[in-house]
Structure 1
């Protein structure tokens, strides 16, 4: 049957109805798209309101470049997907103040290094061991009941939450004039600290140039709750306060809770983990160190640590044996003998007594060791033998040497140790004497200056994520691989202090340069525990630390230690190769850290990436 073709008038008559139906369909589709767009926009707004805004460089290009390939929808018969590793469980409640490697009563650090992980075999063994050794246990140190983050700086220097620290309290320590050095009062939920050393420091100021930038770095033995270091901040002096973990209580924990530099440490057989010529002043107020024991071994260590021309401040016994005390004559004679022995030792070290007033004795180390060129003359005068053939900056599990560390000569600078140190704050921007004198032959002035500029740029970029640097939320900062101290120098404009850590056994030992910049730091091995209490750092920065340790210990080993020392709500910045950062991200998720991978300041083509951790955000589902 032939097909019937509708007439033109019929077609025209039906056309408006068809167009009307099409228009209705388009309108419905448009409304649906607008509704979907509104939902996506709302969800994006909700996500962005709970996390810092990404900068332009942290764009989809980063995610596209770094996101792993999606799993196939229908895995084949040979595909065996591995389940994600489980979250790291919490440690038992009695581990809330766990401090590995420092078990009392001994103040000595003892932490056997973890054996390195075995390299992966090229071919699986034909007969694998029936019972492979289990991996080391990992757990997250829990906060104590009632823990809350400390208040912002500077309010935290005057008070700390009672629930945050491991009590009993540190007993007050007496100093000159019977004044309490560390008065601590409990008021409700707070421990309140007062300026208990004001008169003592002002008395010391009369004989030591605390003002004007001559003294910038100080070391305080038996620090109590770091009231001495706290008051020295008024003079622009940065103090490393150290105390052992012992029956006196959590002195170092209280100091760090206040936002003051401190770490666990004690004078024992090993050198303290600082380079030679580190501190402008070393202080001991009744610190219970037997300075005259072992033929003056500990005084030789102080001599190693002091800068040329640095000050040694010692108060209480044995200096005060001349004062009137209700003690036996025998005890008086013992203190007299101890002081005479100390004076004899310091005279042999060519130190000069600056002052002895009441219970305070002040000595000064010489600026140059001219006698170090005359070994025979030193022996004739009964001086300690001179240290030869050893690195004076080596201080990680290195024994204290029964010899005197000589100040290196620098003939082109007509002085010792590369020339005179600049006063603070000029010291921060000046070329350190170790570099200027050529003492560090592998480090040029140009490389050092270039490094400083790089870190200025990097830290300015970090401010995109670290919104709270200027309001005191972050106070205690750690740089896990400090290099030349460029990160800390760039951070100095903010109300923070930085613990600059130089990994032990590094081929480029730069910690001496860091101290000559007027900054402080220490050595450590990141396959071991750091010498501090849990929850003592607000911000941790790690540059290349995982790629440099990935063959020494596992990524999760380092992350668990970082989690131990990071306070709840703290932040982390990991900077490393893109492949390493992705591995760190995978393990960081096991710790339930809020983290994301973003580009560096150099954009998506930079082979390095950043892992930004902001634990102040609520956990998913909480």
Structure 2
């Protein structure tokens, strides 16, 4: 998919014998630990252009189709769902799967009935693959007394119980209009005004302020590259932005050599829908908790205003220890925050054996916002105490 300029977000449960997420991240592919269970996925509605299930063994017809309804929630109008594995091609594999023909045939029929209720069309089936497409709006949907979700803010999903209901399409004025807004093709979509902003769905953000934000982050990223010349090279493949805002950092950094996990803190402004409309990937998260990944999986972490945001919520030590856990040895962190906050961070980082350097704001030393750059040292336990690998 990367060769086709497609960025895929994979998730899989933590497994005792196959750490699939760790393998993916070590290959430089976006992935998080996750499961389709009883809690909403940590993504906004209409986030993905395509969703794929390859032999994932999810019981799609269980709980009155609740899992398929959750896929529908995160799938953009006009998006595709690809199913590969049971019960598709049951005539060939029913004996291997140790199930009866009747059981598998009934399961596939139920999936197709659910798809029709969700306003999906089956577009293709051949061999082990079936492809469904979600319609661009609900003007031609055939929904017989479908249970529609009650309004609660469709992106209010953090620790929310999954419900057996269908997320309504945004309203449209014509049969050809794409519900939620049409998107340009990538990479033009990266800097085009996202529908969330043009429709005024993000409080306090206008088209003008969005464009100014893009200019600001181009300036910031240029400053980062002057401080650390490895930024933008293949040295930093897996990048995380801990407080992504409108995705300006990731957009300014955009390169085939790296990708950015844009994290939107659950205690801040909800901008994750904007990030996905720009063709980027991200996730909701509360930094008072551990992040859903394995240790040593990110090469570069960007923390803009994270510690000011959380200074009354949880301890700096806990957040920094979690950053240390997910950062690779010799990986780097860029902090951007108020100087008083960064001085506290710097003191703790020194105790974690990080090398740190404080830098002035791009606009000069009189600006109270500073840039702290840290590098995690590779060190091991020696006979006479801990020492760096170079000393060994």
| 2-structure distance, mates of 1:350, 1:411 | 18
Larger relative contact order (Cα-Cα within 8 Å, sequence gap ≥ 6): 1
The alignment status of 1:382 with 2:151, answered yes or no, reads no
Instruction: Describe the shift of the 1:311–1:597 C-alpha distance in structure 2 as closer, same or farther (beyond 3 A).
Output: same
| 1-structure distance, mates of 2:90, 2:190 | 41
| 2-structure distance, mates of 1:404, 1:324 | 32
2:211 alignment partner in structure 1: 449
* Structure 1 residue 415: Cα displacement: 2.6
1:511 alignment partner in structure 2: 272
Among 375, 378, 382, the alignment partner of 1:614 is 375
| 2-structure distance, mates of 1:595, 1:483 | 25
* Structure 1 residue 290: Cα displacement: 0.8
1:587 alignment partner in structure 2: 348
- Structure showing greater Rg: 1
| 1-structure distance, mates of 2:190, 2:217 | 14
Q: Which runs of 5+ in 1 are unaligned?
A: 1-231
* Structure 1 residue 494: Cα displacement: 5.8
| 2-structure distance, mates of 1:615, 1:327 | 49
1:135 alignment partner in structure 2: none
| 2-structure distance, mates of 1:456, 1:260 | 24
Among 277, 291, 300, the alignment partner of 1:539 is 300
CA-based RMSD: 2.1
Number of residue pairs matched by the alignment: 383
| 1-structure distance, mates of 2:40, 2:3 | 30
2:383 alignment partner in structure 1: none
Query: What are the residue-to-residue correspondences of 1:555-574 with 2, within 5 Å?
Result: 555-574=316-335
Q: Give CA-to-partner distance per residue, 1:313-352, whole Å, 9 cap, x none.
A: 0011101112255448853222111111101111111210
* Structure 1 residue 533: Cα displacement: 0.2
Q: Give CA-to-partner distance per residue, 1:35-84, whole Å, 9 cap, x none.
A: xxxxxxxxxxxxxxxxxxxxxxxxxxxxxxxxxxxxxxxxxxxxxxxxxx
Q: TM-score, normalised by structure 1?
A: 0.59
The alignment status of 1:340 with 2:116, answered yes or no, reads no
Q: Give CA-to-partner distance per residue, 1:256-290, whole Å, 9 cap, x none.
A: 11111111001000011000000000001100111
Among 262, 277, 281, the alignment partner of 2:46 is 277
Instruction: Describe the shift of the 1:414–1:438 C-alpha distance in structure 2 as closer, same or farther (beyond 3 A).
Output: farther
| 2-structure distance, mates of 1:471, 1:442 | 35
- Greater mean alpha carbon deviation, residues 598-607 or residues 291-300: 598-607
Instruction: Describe the shift of the 1:304–1:324 C-alpha distance in structure 2 as closer, same or farther (beyond 3 A).
Output: closer
Say if 1:413 and 1:437, in contact at 8 Å, map to a contact too.
Answer: no
* Structure 1 residue 471: Cα displacement: 3.5
Say if 1:323 and 1:358, in contact at 8 Å, map to a contact too.
Answer: no
1:419 alignment partner in structure 2: 181
- Greater mean alpha carbon deviation, residues 272-281 or residues 244-253: 244-253
Among 166, 179, 189, the alignment partner of 1:404 is 166
* Structure 1 residue 433: Cα displacement: 1.0
Instruction: Describe the shift of the 1:579–1:391 C-alpha distance in structure 2 as closer, same or farther (beyond 3 A).
Output: same
Say if 2:328 and 2:376, in contact at 8 Å, map to a contact too.
Answer: no
Query: What are the residue-to-residue correspondences of 1:9-28 with 2, within 5 Å?
Result: none
* Structure 1 residue 409: Cα displacement: 2.1
Q: TM-score, normalised by structure 2?
A: 0.93
Task: Kindly indicate which of the two structures has a greater share of residues assigned to strand.
Answer: 2
Q: Give CA-to-partner distance per residue, 1:348-372, whole Å, 9 cap, x none.
A: 1121000011110000001012379
| 1-structure distance, mates of 2:231, 2:193 | 27
The alignment status of 1:311 with 2:80, answered yes or no, reads yes
| 2-structure distance, mates of 1:262, 1:298 | 20
| 2-structure distance, mates of 1:328, 1:259 | 33
Among 218, 235, 246, the alignment partner of 1:484 is 246
Query: What are the residue-to-residue correspondences of 1:101-120 with 2, within 5 Å?
Result: none
| 2-structure distance, mates of 1:604, 1:533 | 38
Instruction: Describe the shift of the 1:413–1:539 C-alpha distance in structure 2 as closer, same or farther (beyond 3 A).
Output: farther
Structure 2 SS opposite 1:322: helix
* Structure 1 residue 603: Cα displacement: 1.2
* Structure 1 residue 437: Cα displacement: 2.2
2:261 alignment partner in structure 1: 499
2:220 alignment partner in structure 1: 458
Q: Give CA-to-partner distance per residue, 1:440-495, whole Å, 9 cap, x none.
A: 35321111111010000000000012222343111000000000000000010361
Say if 1:409 and 1:416, in contact at 8 Å, map to a contact too.
Answer: no
